[in-house]
């Protein structure tokens, strides 16, 4: 079991989705983390990736086993995809849709 801590950036990998989130709180009794999603990266078969700013979606509480610590070398190049202000309503809608798509895939 990984030892996580508040403010740490973690990654949830599922199929071709990588969700980067900030740990808000470690819930030791439940072996879970409360996380705030930041970025969703969707990898396609032809080695192209789409990056979505998902700070507009709901926080999650998932078991430790879903996460791994994010490496600085993988995260730093992605940070430029975070919007400086509020997302446009269209971008927010697309980000929410892709995030919900990931959740559906995880719980299938």
Domain membership flag for residue 2: no
Considering its fold, how many domains does the chain have in total? 1
Supply the Cα-derived Rg of the chain in whole angstroms: 14
- Determine if the pTM surpasses 0.85: yes
| Exposure of 29 in the CB half-sphere (CA atoms within 13 A) | 0
Range of the domain at 93: 9-106
Query: Do residues 69 and 22 touch, judged by C-beta distance below 8 A?
Result: no
> Residue 72: inside a domain, yes or no?
yes
Answer yes or no: is 102 within a domain.
yes
In tens digits, the chain (108 residues) has pLDDT values of: 568 999 999 999 999 999 999 999 999 999 999 999 999 999 887 777 899 999 999 999 999 999 999 999 999 988 887 877 777 889 899 999 999 999 999 988
Residue 1 in any domain: the answer is: no
């Amino acid at each position: 079991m990984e030892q996580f801590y508040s403010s740490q950036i973690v990654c949830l990998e599922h199929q071709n989705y990588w969700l980067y989130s900030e740990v808000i709180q470690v819930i030791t009794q439940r072996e879970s983390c409360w996380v705030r999603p930041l970025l969703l990266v969707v990898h396609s078969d032809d080695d192209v990736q789409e990056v979505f700013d998902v700070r507009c979606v709901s926080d999650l509480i998932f078991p430790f086993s879903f996460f791994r610590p994010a490496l600085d070398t993988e995260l730093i190049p992605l940070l430029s995809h975070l919007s400086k202000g509020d997302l446009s309503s269209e971008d927010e809608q697309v980000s929410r849709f892709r995030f919900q798509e990931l959740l559906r895939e995880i719980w299938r």
